[in-house]
Structure formats: C-alpha cells, structure tokens
Structure 1
Amino acid sequence: MRDRLRRLVQKPGSVDLGPFRALAEEAGARESRVRELSDAGLTAAASDLREKEDLAELCALGREAARRALGERPYDVQLIGTLALLSGHVAEMATGEGKTLAGALAAAGYALRGRQVHVMSVNDYLARRDAEWMEPLYSLLGVTAGWVGQSSTPEERRAAYRADVTYAPVSEVGFDLLRDRLVTDPADLVLPEPSVALIDEADSVLVDEAMVPLVLAGAADLDAADPQYADLVRRLRPGLHYTTDDEARNVQLTPAGAREVERVLGVDLYAPDQLGTLTAVNVALHAEVLLVRDVDYIVRDGAVKLVSESRGRVALLQRWPDGLQAAVEAKEALEASPSGEILDSITVQELIGRYPVRCGMTGTAMAVAGQLTEFYALQIAVVPPNRPCVRVDEPDRLYATAADKEVAIVEEIAAAHAAGRPVLIGTGDVAESERLARRLARAGLDRVVLNAKNDAEEAAIIAEAGAYGAITVSTQMAGRGTDIRLGGSPSAEPGRAPAEAGGSDHDRVAEAGGLLVIGTGRYHSSRLDDQLRGRAGRQGDPGGSVFFTSLQDDLVTRYAPGEEPDDPADDQGRITGKGAHWLVGHAQRVAEGVDLELHRNTWRYNHLIGLQRRELLAERDDVLRGDAADRAMAAAAPAKHAELAGTAGADAVAEAARQVVLYQLDRCWAEHLAYLADLREGIHLRSLGRGLDPLVEFNREAVPAGKRLLADARKRSVAAFEALTASGDGIDLDSAGLKRPSATWTYLVHDNPFGSLDERALRGMINMFRRRRR
C-alpha cells in the first residue's frame, strides 16, 4: 500500500517493480529449456529477438549466456535491474549487487532491438575493463562490442562506434562530438547518430560532472603568466595585505595590500591603462591563497593535476580557465601548459540530452532523485539487494576540535586492527590522507595510502583492502566501480559470487566483524557519505561504518560559520549534545542546497547557448553534407561564382564555397562563445550592484547576439568568397584568410575553482539556509 501511495504522488524511487519481478520469474521458468540450447542455438535464439520483443526470453537467454561465458548466473534482482534499464530508468543497486552485468544485459537487449548503445563511465579504466570483461557475453548473444579511451586513434574510435555496444568515458564521447562539429569532410566524422545512453555511476556522471564543461580549444598567441606576480603575492601578509570571505571562496586586496603592490611594481594599480596588471595580480592572488596543493591539485610529472572533489582522484584532462591555470603553474614554478581560445564547448547535461533514450545505474541515486528528474526526466527504480545488508552504521562521533577527532580516529583504527578487522578510512583530500598516514606510522600501524598521487594502483590496493588486518587510507575515490572482498582478492572485478573470495581468509575477517569503514568527516553531500559506507557490507557480508566529525571541519566552518552550539565536550573532546550534531547535518544540507542552485544556474545559462548552437549546427550540417554553400554563393555573388567556375571548374568552386562557409560559421561561433563568457561576467558585476536578475540581463543581450550570428557568418562568407583567386591548378583558399588553428586539444574547464560570480552571488543563500530550521 505504501509503495502504491508513493507512485500515486510520484515520489522518487516509486517505480513499480512488480512487472519486472513477474518477468524475472517467467525467465526462471524458461531456464531449463534455454540450458538445453547449444551455443549456436542460443545465439540464433537471441537473434530472433530482433524480430519480436520478449523481455522474459531476453532475460532467460542473457542469464544462460552469462553463466556460460562468464561463469556467473545473474540473480533475479540483477534481471530486475536489467529490466529497469530497458524501461529507461535509473536502477539503484547496492555495492556488490552486479550492476556491471545487469548493465551489459540491458545493453544487449537494446542492441537486439536494433539500437546502438553507448555505455558511458567515469574513466578509461572502467570503460576498457567492462568492455573486455563482458565481450564473451555479447559474442554469445550475437552482439558486437567495442571501447574508446583517451589514447584511441580516430580509426579505432570509428571502429568502436560501429559496434552495437560501445563503452567509453563520458568525456571522450563529448570530445568526439566537439571534434565532429569542426570537421570539413563528412568522411572525418566519428560519432554515429545518438540512440541509447546507458550511464554507469549515473549520479557521478549526471550530477557531479554536470557543471564541468567539456572544451575544444585551438592554438592562439596568448602569453603565459608572469612569474613576478606569483613572487609578489607570495610575500603579501594575510589580514594586512588581503582578506578572504567566510567561505574562503574569494580574496581581495586591502588598501594596504594595493599600496604594497603599487610600491613593488611602480604603477598606479587602478589606473585605466593598468587593467591588465590588476587582473594578473588578482588571479595570482587567487592561485596563491585559495588553491591549495594536495587539496585542490597535485603536482605530478612536472605538471599541475586537478583533483576531482567528488571522486578524490586526478581529474584527467581537467584544467582551470587559462589565466588561472597559468597562475598556478607560475606559483609552482612549472612550465606553462598550452593555452588558446575556446572553439566549442558542451556540458555533460547537453551531451546526454541528445540521446532519445537515457538510462543508468548507481548505488546512490535516491540522494539526487530530484536532480535526475528535473534535469534528465529520469525516474529511479530501487532494486532490493540479493541478500539483506547487515552492515552496522554507527551514529557520528562529534568532537570539538580536529585534533581531538584525529586522536580518536587513530585509537579506533588501532582497536580494529588488533582484532584483525580490515579498516578503510575515507579522507577529504590528499593532504589529509597523508597526514593521517603519518599519524598511523607513528603509532606503529602499517597502512596503504590510496589518493590522487598513486591512483594508477587503485585496483590492486582495493583488491587487498578487505584482507585480514589491512589498513587502507583513501580519498573519496575509495575504489568506486570495484568491490572490496573480505579476505582480499587477486581480482578487482565486481559481480563475482561471494564464495570465490571465500575460504579461511574470508571467514576470519567475517568473524572479526567484516570491513570497518571510517569517515574522517562528512562530505559536502550525503550521497558521498553513502558511497563510502557502501564499501562495506557487500552481498550480505558483515561490516560497519562510522563517521568522525568536528566543529572545525571545513564543512562546518564554510557552510555554518559563526554557529557555536552550547553543548559541552567531555575529557576526550567528544560532544554528544543534539544541537551540535544537528549543526553538522545542517551544514551539509546547506552545502547540498548551494550545489543544487549552482547546477540550476549552470543549466539556465547553457540552455540558451545550446539553443543558439543547435540553430548554427543545423546550417553547418546542411553545408557539410550538401550543396547549400555552393547555392548560397551562386545567389549572393553570381559574378564571382561564374568567374571561378570558368577558371577552376564547378566542382572546385562547390568545394571552395563549402570550406569558406564552414570556416566562417566556426569562426563566428568561437567569437560568440568568447562574447558570451565576457557578457556573463560583466552582467553579474552590474546586476549585483543594481539588484537586477543576472539571467534576465544576460538573456537581454545574448538573445539578439545569437540572432545576428548566422547573418554575420553569411555576410563574412560572401566577402571571403569574393576574395578567392583561381588558376588552372585550382582555387587558392589561403587568399580568403581561411587559417584554422595549427593545433587543437581537449580538456574539461573547472568553472568554479574558487567560486564564480554566480556562486558569490549566492552567499546570501548560505545565511538563508543557516537560519532555516526543520
């Protein structure tokens, strides 16, 4: 009755599993018949599904194919997850419940319906691992599969995308789309038309990555940051020369700081002709004060590597906007990385929105159910575990100071280790993981550290994290996408039956209480807390979790500044009062509210940009694939068209017209993106001072600019076409100034490294949330 009421009011997670259970039972009834089929007969039976839709038969064939090809027989709950995916939902399945196999069966089901499927993950490792692991299953079902990684060549990418099922990191799919949007020959296109997007770790891809644009840049003559500014701001003193806000998201020079900068540089810092100097000083100051090594980034192989806040691992290809990236490199005395102008960009949200069919799977969907529905129109099917979870989640242990908390954490780890219980400690950043590791070493405790500095060893470390007496200190990465087996395992592949990790080691660890997960503080999202907890208690294994927090944690000081509960601390510094515990949860809710509003703001701005891009791309596609450019030039410049055709021939003129129009469309779009970026920043400065709605003001100027875009491109195309010269050898395109970038590269730009103007405009929200009570 409760489930029916939830569905009636469309509560998150209220997808009816009844029809899926019935189909899983029907698949079970067909299992004995399907087992009698030969391999060739099973493949033929799967091929027959292309002519009819029989989900029970698909589940029966898929189960048998998995048993033969992988040595695994999917549980009924895995089939339920498969059917949820085939219905276009997000399947929430707990850690160790075999999401990878359920996703593969769903991908095969879509492929057997004649749909091409892109299985998108968060990194290269998972894409390749899952494609290669599931390939025997696909082969037995008569389905082709491929994978794309960062190092894949264009030819390898085309081959992979021709397969029925393609595994790829979401970023690589986006980068392929951006590159396709700049090709000048249809034969160079890589991506097929979008059909089905099946998203692994859906909450991470669709929510955490939603505010990180994917960027295609082209070489430009931009100067690197001047090291003198990094040296200058390093000598400035906090409080005297600069101040930061309560959330440590912005920093400003004080009058004394401005005078010191002017003394050192010998300039009037606020003179109109010194705007570039003022900007360079401010960017260097942000890099020095607000971006912390081993928290926001690490230095590896002589380069700055950003650290993903949500996953704790190196954010591959990610960088800050060019000015700030260069300032951090100057701060660290490193060689400047390439910089250039943005030729095109796309958000993950817009990328996924291109697919007519979207579905996904994760262990923590309910925490972001509202966002999945609001931004992607996705509903959540909560799939029960095959075995009940018996993990013991203890209440938080709250301390007055960070020092008291760290002492208590080490004592808890030592006690668990003495009993032979494996411990996984989740920390907030690289610096904290290494600081805790040093404390453990001083206490005589052997430990393994997993963070962004050694993320290449992730699979091997996680495979042994459940071994008897193991101590693993990890950032938020903590092996997401892999399972931690009690007793340890030589394989990091998820989905294996518990018995394969069994035996005496498994039993010894189980008797000790199973894996203990310790959080050294609440994350900015309760979903990240749940992900860490989910490392323990897989497939009915014993386990436990506990979070240690303090009133000095960054979450509390940033999102609940000034709040000081009256609850006293005991001799060990521990606080048990309800008010203090409420404050920690309140700070986390504030952080989640701010993140949600930033997500909405990002969507609001990029929605308009996406509409403008769609109009331009429609015209570009007509030019690329047809004779639209030739006809347009013949109509707009008939004399020049006839002159060139008489000299070089009609085919050469048609191709020249295509190249001219494509170039001008691309050039106008790159300039439009730069204009919109400047406009957005300027609008916020004006609106904050006048109390205006920045989105309304942005649209007021961006919409007319977008409407002029195609007209400007057409006008420029005609002018460039008329500048062409021809001879018997052909048409000289250089004479029209069609110079494309000498090099292009892709990256993800971190839009909010220390709080964009959007975020700074939301500071009032924090005070609003802070005063709010349940």
Structure 2
Amino acid sequence: MLGGLAKTLFGSSNERYVKSLGSIVNKINGFEPTISAMSDDQLAAQTVAFRERLGNGESLDSILPEAFATVREAAKRTLGQRHYDVQMVGGIVLHRGEIAEMRTGEGKTLVATLATYLNALPGTGVHVITVNDYLAARDAGWMSQVYSFLGLTTGVIVPNLSDQQRRDAYASDITYGTNNEFGFDYLRDNMKYDRGSMVQRPFNMAIVDEVDSVLIDEARTPLIISGPTDDKTDLYRSVDLVVKQLAAEDYEKDEKQKTIILTEDGTEKVERMLEDAGLLEGANLYDFENTQVVHHVNQSLRANMMFKADTDYIVKDGKVVIIDEFTGRMMDGRRWSDGLHQAVEAKEGVDIEPENQTMASITFQNYFRMYPKLAGMTGTAATEAAEFYDIYKMNVVTIPTNVPVKRVDEEDEFYKDTQDKFQAIAKKIRVHAELGQPVLVGTVSIEKSELLSEFLKQEQVPHKVLNARFHEMEAHIVAQAGRKSAVTIATNMAGRGTDIQLGGNLDFRMMDEHPDLVEGTPEFDAAAARIKQEIAAEKQAVLDAGGLFVLGTERHESRRIDNQLRGRSGRQGDPGLSRFYLSLDDDLLRIFGPDTLFARMMRSNIGDGEAIGSKWLSKAIETAQKKVEARNYDIRKQVVEYDDVMNDQRKVIYEQRADIMDADTVGDVVEDMRAETVNAIVGEACPPGTYPEQWDIAGMKEKLQAQLNITPPIDDWLAEEAIDPEIVVERTRAAADAHVAAKAEGLEPETWVQIEKSILLQNLDHHWKEHLATVEALRQVVHLRAYAQKTPINEYKQEAFQLFQRMLDMIREEVTRTIAYAEFQFQAPPELPQLPDFITTHFDPFTGEDDTYDFDGAGMVTSAIPTLSIPRPDGHEIGQDPAQWVGNVSRNAPCPCGSGLKYKHCHGAV
C-alpha cells in the first residue's frame, strides 16, 4: 500500500531514471540550430573533429550531446527522418550499456544509429546484431546512408563470405550481422594457425536488436562447430554386445521420462564384462578415465531397451531412419546426437557412420559477455529484467512512447475446447474484416495456423498464412497487414523487424507492384504518388474501423511473446484492439494451469460454443506463465553454470593459442615442457629421500627413451658417490636439450620456430577436441551423482578440472615426444595445416531445426532499400549437374536445384 502511494507521488524508479535523462536531451536539442545551419561538408567534417577531441582526452559522454545532434541532422538529410526526443533517450540508454524497451513502431532501428555512431568514433568497431540475415542486410543497407554521410564505413556479415570479405567487414567502423555469424567467426578464428588469417578484431561494443530473442530465447542452445571423429566402430559394437547380455533386473527404466540407469548389481556385471573385453581402465566403471565408456554404455542401454524398431525408427536400405514421434513420418537425413544413432546402428547390425565430434562450442551467454560494452533493444524485456541483470548485468529501461497508446486490451475469452474456440475466432474475424478492420492473428505453431485457415475458409474469409520460414517474404506480407480488411495469420516468429502501417506500406507496395520501375524516374514518381493517395484514403478507412485488431489464438508460455504480438497494434498513437482466446485444451492451461477440479468445473458449467471472461481467470493464466518463465530461466541458468566451467578452460586454451601465434619464438615454452617431462620421469623413478639402490633405473631408462628419445649414461652416474635426484634431473635435461638442439642445427631458425609452433598448435587442438568430447560425456551422466546426495554441478567442476589438468599433462608429453622423434629432411618452412570442412549447428529452441544458414538474407536485393555490396550464393556458377555440387556447396546452403531445402537435406543427403 505504502509502495503504491510512493509510486503515485514520486513515480516509479524507471520513470525517475528516464526523467533524469531529460537534461541531456535538452543539451542535444540546444545544438540543433547550430548543426542544422551547417553545410553537408561541414556536417560530415564533424566526425574528424570528434575524433580529434577524443584523441585529446575528451570522453564519449562529454561529446554525446553534440554527436547525437549530428546524427539526427544526418538522418534528416539522408533518410528524411528526424529522431524524436524519446528516441534520443533510447540512444543514451544504449550508450550506457543498458536495454531500451521501446514499443513496436517507435523506430528502434533509427535509435541504434545514435549509440552506434558515438561508440564507433574511437575506431575500435561496433557490432550491431540482428535476428536474421534479411534484417542484417536490410538495416546495414538502410542505415549505412547515415554513417557514410558522416564518413564512417559499414560492413555486413552474411553466410558464404570468404575470409577476406569477412575481414574487410569486421575492419569497418560498424558491422551488421546475426548472432550465429559473429559467434561462429569467433570459434573459427580460434582454430586458425596464423594470426593474419583471423577475421575478427578485439571486441569493443555490441548492440543487439530483439535482445530478448537473441540473449534469452536462442541462448537455450549453444553454437557448435563439429567435424568427423575417429572411427569408433569396434567400441560401439563391443559395448552393444555387453549391453545385450543384461537382464531386466540389471537396469531401471522410466518410460515417462525416457531415462534408464543401471542397478548396483547391473553396474558390477557391466564392469566385469567390460574388463574382460579390455575396455575398462581400473576396476571402477565410474572412474573419470572411463567417462566416455560410461557414456557409450548409457547410450547403448537407451538404444537397446528404450528405442523400438518400426516405432522410433526403421531400418531402410541398410540405414537407420528416425520416425517423427508426432507425425509418424520418416526423417531422412536427421540423426540422433551424442552417439545414440551409432548405438542404434550397432544394435541393428548395420554399417556404423562416424559421429561428428565437437571441435569448438560456446553459448551465446558467454560469447556476448566478452564484449566490454553490451546494449540491446526490444519491444518486450521488462518481464525478463531479472535474468538480463543476473546473466549479463544489464538493466532494462522502459522508454515512453512518442504518442500515448490508444489501443484497447480486452479481457481473455475462455472456451471449453479447441473446436469451439476456433469457430468463435473465425466468426469474430469475419465480423471485423467486413467492417474494414485489418486483423493480425497470432498462433503458437504452424499446425494451429493451418487449422485456423481451414475454419476461415469455411467462413469464406480471404486471408494469408505465414509460417516463419522465409523472412523476406514475411516482411512483404506483414508490411501490408494493416490494409483494409486484411487478415494475416502468423506464428510468433513472423513479422519481426517490419512495422505494420495502417493503410499499407509505400516502399513494399512499390516493390511488389512496380519492381521494374527505377527510383527517380517520372514513371516511378507518378506510381508512388498514386499509391500514396490510395494508402492515405485506406488508412483513414482503417482508423474509422478501429485500427488494427490483434487476436491471439492462445497464450504463449512466456508473457513476453504475448506482449510482442499485442504490441503490433496501436503504433504511434493509432487506435487498436487486442484480445486472446483460450480453451481448456491449450497446452499452457493443460500442463501448467489450475488443478483438475477447476478444469472439471469449467467443462461441466460451460456449454458448447459458450464463452466466459474473468479477471480471476486471466490472473490464473499469468501466474501459470510466471511459473513457466521461472522454470525456463532455471534451465538456461543451469546451461550457463555448466558452460562457465568450460568457458574458463576455453579462455585458457584460446589465450595460449594466441600467445603461441604472436610469439617470435616458442623455444622457451617447448623447453619448459621438456623440463617438466624430465622432472616427472625422474621424480617418479627417484623419489626424494631414497637411496640410489632403491631407484627404478630400468623404468626410468625405458621412459626416457620413449618420451625423449635419449639414453643417458645413468649407470655411470650411479657410480659417483654424491649422486642425488637433482643431479640426475639436471644432467638428463642437458642431454634432452642437446638432442633437440642437434635437430635444430641443420635448419634455418625461422623454419625451426615454424616447426615448433605447428607442433604446439596441432597438439593443443587435438587434445582440446578430445577433452571437449570427454567433458560432454561427463555432463551427460554427472546428474547421477545426485543419487549419492552429491551436487552434480560441484562434481562436474571437480572432475572437469581434473580432466583439464590431465589434458595439459598429455599435451606436454606429446609435444616433447613429437619433437624428440621428428625427422626433418627439408629446408623450406612447413605449410600450416588447412582447417577441415566444418559443420556449424545452432538448433532453434522452438522448432529444433538447424538455423545456421538463412538464404533469404544473403540473397536479399530490393530497389527501395539501399544495399551494400553483398556476395550472393548462386547455384548456376557451379553447373547444373548435382555431381559438380559435391564439395562446392555448403551443407547448410540452399540446394542449387531450387527445392527450398538445405543442400544436406536434399541432393547433399548422406
């Protein structure tokens, strides 16, 4: 009560913060008369003047008002758009590394130019992140007019660029691209063998558009670069034979959770059989040396005991093909991950195709936390404010609208079942469409969109259906969703980045109706003038009908997605209407809603086709949504906790690689490794405080020969009276150093340095790759420690650290052995190894589809939006014969045959 009174008197903390920025906006406005009076050349020269002032010690904050006023004037002259005062507030929030929550239609793309320009002045680069390649190309081409006018360069990162094209784009003052592209470039850079071949510069600032989508929704799944692994066919078959000998009492399975674990007796039985097969190191199955074996045993258990032929999969033409559990269709080209598919292949006795082993991986959380300054903007972030602060230390600031919102948000309507609900929705849409009111219908899945489409056909309502597959096509349709009587059905992913303007969108209508006309010609101007008149008349008719009607067919798990849909209506002070329709069959109510007694009362008291609405019910729905949001946050937080462990190790390895590449010589590193190897061998054979007659001389000789390729005269040393372990270490080191020095004598110094670097980097990469596989296998099984009353994350940290220590020891030994045994018969410096053909994956958390390639953005060319020079993949350049496409077409690229499928799912299917 007191809190509500204080808020009424003094305003919320958000309102007070926004109000405090008013003084800065006043300063910006104060510069406007002076800036407006400048000529184009004088305005462009401002950039040089700002850079000089920064070089003389001024801060970005001190030049912010004048810089923002400069950008506002440049936007007026190039785009014909002047930033509103509230957009200036948004720009200040972005510059401060916070999240600007601005409603749809408030001009977030234009707001970004303010903070982007200011932070690009030091010349260290600003990255602008968008949700798909279409928007990256569109925004880069559109906003580059402002930047180039002021003398800044703009680049854009889209798929299928060469390394040099990427390097040039990253060298620009401002670089646009998607989160996937930036993340994969970071991983690829840290797999290169030469600093000059890396494409990215050190990070400075990132501004993320649709920040909730990128940093929360897509952050559920990591970015993964994988490549072919070593052949483990024998291991899969051996483990399969062991598992097939188990009886029902040897394991416990939970069909509801689809989990299966060995019992205590089953574990002992498996240990004995694995020991007999020579697959077990030591006596205990759960020692960390056996982590990968445990992983394969668990996957083989699932394959043999949980997965059924002709239900979960079929064997066709000697291959295991997955059957979709929802549709019953065969899913050619899809494979289960983490060795499960190979376990099923071993079970069925067909040829086992090798796994794709993870070579590098990172979560979006840890990637974006590497930027010294991170900012974002979206229409909906307040509901996730706690997560943004916990994970990214970013505050959410709600920016007021330029014009007060006039949209009416009606109470939800509840129906007994989906049939009744969809019939009511179809009738409601028909009534509003007949009045001339445009209707935007939001659904949660493609299936629901198609179902509603059938109901609308019965009502004879013309409509368009979007399915979130082709972003550019969606942009055209959504841009016209505000026309008179237009009915547009869209999934939650549809329409992002494109405003719905009442009456229609001039630019998109010109593109659709007059694609052949050239801008600036009399014909173009005449057509534009005619369409402009039509849009004005149509807009007035739509306003009279009540503006855009947004209709939600059910509530989403997240309130944020519902708010995104609702926010499409009421743009820039336009009137609007929104309402959600629900039924007891909706997933949210069915799984997370109130108890069954409530559901029974609802079913018994609501008649067919009857609807009820109540604030209490709406509150119950919101409570259910909050529960789901909290659960999803916990899941994402757990992903981050586990990846934080790997992130510390990843930083160490990547920093070591960078140090090796940057160093003029790495002889001291190799020498230290050799010294540690000698210390370890001598220390084990000659423990401190023991007599020479107690030393394991034979074992030491054997290891020195195996590791260092030397046979020092140890027997002669033992004949000396004052011999001790330190003397043995010193003399052995000298012998090992002399052996390596003799190898280096016959080679040029530059050649020897290149050899040492190459050996170091290749061993580092090989063992890091193996380490990633082992740690991933550990992560899959560590939850079992909870049965022993242990905290899985703590166990994971301890074991992962031990595995990391062991990996470093193995790198040291392998590098020492390789250099000791290598024979060099050439004078020219060896060529650095070529990187393999990677497979990049990032699974969409909603559809499960790999979204790492988006053809629409790469091929986007429009006449209304100025574009940068963006190379486009073109199937005709590589011929029409599919045999010519092998090796020349990326697996994630669209198939050149024109099917619309990715190459790997079409002619490139394995």
1:108 corresponds to: 117
- Quick one: which amino acid aligns to residue 773 of structure 2? A
Instruction: Tell me the secondary structure at the aligned position of residue 146 of structure 1.
Output: strand
2:17 corresponds to: 16
- Quick one: which amino acid aligns to residue 826 of structure 2? G
Aligned partners of 2:299 and 2:339 also within 8 Å: no
1:508-528 deviation line (CA, Å, top 9, x unaligned) = 111111111111111110000
Map 1:482-501; keep pairs closer than 5 Å: 482-491=498-507
1:211 corresponds to: 220
1:122-163 deviation line (CA, Å, top 9, x unaligned) = 111111111110111001222211110122221111111101
Q: 1:515 aligns with which of 548, 556, 562?
A: 548
Instruction: Tell me the secondary structure at the aligned position of residue 216 of structure 1.
Output: strand
Task: Find out whether 1:743 has 2:743 as its counterpart.
Answer: no
2:209 corresponds to: 200
- Quick one: which amino acid aligns to residue 592 of structure 1? E
2:419 corresponds to: 403
Task: Find out whether 1:625 has 2:662 as its counterpart.
Answer: yes
- Quick one: which amino acid aligns to residue 625 of structure 1? D
- Quick one: which amino acid aligns to residue 631 of structure 1? D
Task: Find out whether 1:166 has 2:139 as its counterpart.
Answer: no
In the alignment, the residues of structure 2 paired with residue 751 and residue 534 of structure 1 have an alpha-carbon distance, to the nearest angstrom, of 23
Map 1:148-167; keep pairs closer than 5 Å: 148-167=157-176
Q: Which moved more, 1:114-123 or 1:511-520?
A: 114-123
In the alignment, the residues of structure 2 paired with residue 86 and residue 64 of structure 1 have an alpha-carbon distance, to the nearest angstrom, of 19
When normalised by structure 1's length, the TM-score is 0.81
- Quick one: which amino acid aligns to residue 494 of structure 2? A
Task: Find out whether 1:692 has 2:790 as its counterpart.
Answer: yes
Q: 1:426 aligns with which of 442, 464, 485?
A: 442
1:417 corresponds to: 433
In the alignment, the residues of structure 2 paired with residue 157 and residue 732 of structure 1 have an alpha-carbon distance, to the nearest angstrom, of 26
In the alignment, the residues of structure 1 paired with residue 404 and residue 342 of structure 2 have an alpha-carbon distance, to the nearest angstrom, of 51
In the alignment, the residues of structure 2 paired with residue 20 and residue 48 of structure 1 have an alpha-carbon distance, to the nearest angstrom, of 25
Q: Which moved more, 1:705-714 or 1:342-351?
A: 705-714
Root-mean-square deviation (CA), in Å?
A: 3.7
In the alignment, the residues of structure 1 paired with residue 464 and residue 800 of structure 2 have an alpha-carbon distance, to the nearest angstrom, of 52
Q: 1:540 aligns with which of 566, 573, 590?
A: 573
- Quick one: which amino acid aligns to residue 838 of structure 2? T
Instruction: Tell me the secondary structure at the aligned position of residue 588 of structure 1.
Output: helix
- Quick one: which amino acid aligns to residue 673 of structure 1? L
In the alignment, the residues of structure 2 paired with residue 291 and residue 695 of structure 1 have an alpha-carbon distance, to the nearest angstrom, of 32
In the alignment, the residues of structure 1 paired with residue 120 and residue 616 of structure 2 have an alpha-carbon distance, to the nearest angstrom, of 54
Residues 626 and 26 from structure 1, CA distance in 2 versus in 1: closer, same or farther, beyond 3 angstroms?
same
Residues 5 and 322 from structure 1, CA distance in 2 versus in 1: closer, same or farther, beyond 3 angstroms?
farther
1:309-338 deviation line (CA, Å, top 9, x unaligned) = xxxxxxxxxx97365789999xxxxxx999
- Quick one: which amino acid aligns to residue 540 of structure 1? G
Q: CA deviation at 1:63?
A: 0.9
Aligned partners of 2:439 and 2:550 also within 8 Å: yes
Q: CA deviation at 1:630?
A: 2.9
In the alignment, the residues of structure 2 paired with residue 291 and residue 6 of structure 1 have an alpha-carbon distance, to the nearest angstrom, of 52
Task: Find out whether 1:718 has 2:719 as its counterpart.
Answer: no
1:196-230 deviation line (CA, Å, top 9, x unaligned) = 1111111111111222101111123679999xxxx
In the alignment, the residues of structure 2 paired with residue 298 and residue 159 of structure 1 have an alpha-carbon distance, to the nearest angstrom, of 44
In the alignment, the residues of structure 1 paired with residue 749 and residue 365 of structure 2 have an alpha-carbon distance, to the nearest angstrom, of 43
Aligned partners of 1:629 and 1:654 also within 8 Å: yes
Aligned partners of 1:298 and 1:453 also within 8 Å: no
Aligned partners of 2:134 and 2:471 also within 8 Å: no
- Quick one: which amino acid aligns to residue 279 of structure 1? R
In the alignment, the residues of structure 2 paired with residue 558 and residue 671 of structure 1 have an alpha-carbon distance, to the nearest angstrom, of 41
Instruction: Tell me the secondary structure at the aligned position of residue 101 of structure 1.
Output: helix
Residues 42 and 578 from structure 1, CA distance in 2 versus in 1: closer, same or farther, beyond 3 angstroms?
closer
Q: 2:807 aligns with which of 688, 709, 728?
A: 709
Q: 2:645 aligns with which of 608, 626, 649?
A: 608
Q: Which moved more, 1:110-119 or 1:670-679?
A: 110-119
Map 1:32-431; keep pairs closer than 5 Å: 32-50=33-51, 51=53, 52=58, 53-220=62-229, 245=256, 250=258, 278-280=301-303, 282=306, 292=326, 321=337, 340-431=356-447
Instruction: Tell me the secondary structure at the aligned position of residue 209 of structure 1.
Output: helix
Instruction: Tell me the secondary structure at the aligned position of residue 371 of structure 2.
Output: coil
Q: CA deviation at 1:742?
A: 3.7
In the alignment, the residues of structure 2 paired with residue 244 and residue 575 of structure 1 have an alpha-carbon distance, to the nearest angstrom, of 38
Residues 393 and 690 from structure 1, CA distance in 2 versus in 1: closer, same or farther, beyond 3 angstroms?
same
In the alignment, the residues of structure 2 paired with residue 342 and residue 500 of structure 1 have an alpha-carbon distance, to the nearest angstrom, of 57
Aligned partners of 1:321 and 1:749 also within 8 Å: no
2:287 corresponds to: none
Q: CA deviation at 1:559?
A: 2.5
Map 1:574-593; keep pairs closer than 5 Å: 574-576=611-613, 580-593=617-630
In the alignment, the residues of structure 2 paired with residue 293 and residue 455 of structure 1 have an alpha-carbon distance, to the nearest angstrom, of 25
Q: CA deviation at 1:587?
A: 2.5
Q: Which moved more, 1:352-361 or 1:110-119?
A: 110-119
1:599-652 deviation line (CA, Å, top 9, x unaligned) = 111111111111111122222211111145333234525244323322332211
Q: CA deviation at 1:7?
A: 14
Residues 623 and 115 from structure 1, CA distance in 2 versus in 1: closer, same or farther, beyond 3 angstroms?
closer
In the alignment, the residues of structure 2 paired with residue 188 and residue 8 of structure 1 have an alpha-carbon distance, to the nearest angstrom, of 60
2:609 corresponds to: 572
Aligned partners of 1:478 and 1:532 also within 8 Å: no
- Quick one: which amino acid aligns to residue 395 of structure 2? Q
Instruction: Tell me the secondary structure at the aligned position of residue 574 of structure 1.
Output: coil
In the alignment, the residues of structure 1 paired with residue 80 and residue 44 of structure 2 have an alpha-carbon distance, to the nearest angstrom, of 17
In the alignment, the residues of structure 2 paired with residue 478 and residue 753 of structure 1 have an alpha-carbon distance, to the nearest angstrom, of 14
Aligned partners of 2:72 and 2:83 also within 8 Å: yes
1:561-591 deviation line (CA, Å, top 9, x unaligned) = 8534134214424244666544433322221
Question: Gapped runs of 5+ residues in structure 2?
Answer: 238-252, 262-293, 314-321, 346-351, 510-531, 675-735, 849-910
Residues 47 and 411 from structure 1, CA distance in 2 versus in 1: closer, same or farther, beyond 3 angstroms?
same
Identity of aligned residues (%): 34
Aligned partners of 1:391 and 1:537 also within 8 Å: yes
In the alignment, the residues of structure 2 paired with residue 163 and residue 8 of structure 1 have an alpha-carbon distance, to the nearest angstrom, of 49
Instruction: Tell me the secondary structure at the aligned position of residue 220 of structure 2.
Output: coil
In the alignment, the residues of structure 2 paired with residue 381 and residue 423 of structure 1 have an alpha-carbon distance, to the nearest angstrom, of 30
Q: Which moved more, 1:556-565 or 1:379-388?
A: 556-565
In the alignment, the residues of structure 2 paired with residue 35 and residue 27 of structure 1 have an alpha-carbon distance, to the nearest angstrom, of 12
Instruction: Tell me the secondary structure at the aligned position of residue 378 of structure 1.
Output: coil
In the alignment, the residues of structure 2 paired with residue 449 and residue 338 of structure 1 have an alpha-carbon distance, to the nearest angstrom, of 41
In the alignment, the residues of structure 2 paired with residue 6 and residue 743 of structure 1 have an alpha-carbon distance, to the nearest angstrom, of 59
Aligned partners of 2:125 and 2:205 also within 8 Å: yes
Q: CA deviation at 1:685?
A: 2.6
Question: Gapped runs of 5+ residues in structure 1?
Answer: 227-241, 254-271, 305-318, 330-335, 494-498, 755-774
Residues 47 and 502 from structure 1, CA distance in 2 versus in 1: closer, same or farther, beyond 3 angstroms?
farther
Aligned partners of 1:321 and 1:751 also within 8 Å: no
In the alignment, the residues of structure 2 paired with residue 290 and residue 562 of structure 1 have an alpha-carbon distance, to the nearest angstrom, of 31
In the alignment, the residues of structure 2 paired with residue 593 and residue 117 of structure 1 have an alpha-carbon distance, to the nearest angstrom, of 33
1:468-509 deviation line (CA, Å, top 9, x unaligned) = 11111111123111101111114369xxxxx99951011111
Instruction: Tell me the secondary structure at the aligned position of residue 841 of structure 2.
Output: strand
In the alignment, the residues of structure 1 paired with residue 412 and residue 8 of structure 2 have an alpha-carbon distance, to the nearest angstrom, of 33
1:474 corresponds to: 490
Aligned partners of 1:466 and 1:484 also within 8 Å: yes
Instruction: Tell me the secondary structure at the aligned position of residue 611 of structure 1.
Output: helix
Q: CA deviation at 1:740?
A: 7.5
Aligned partners of 1:92 and 1:362 also within 8 Å: yes
1:425-474 deviation line (CA, Å, top 9, x unaligned) = 11111111111112212221111110134444111111111111111111
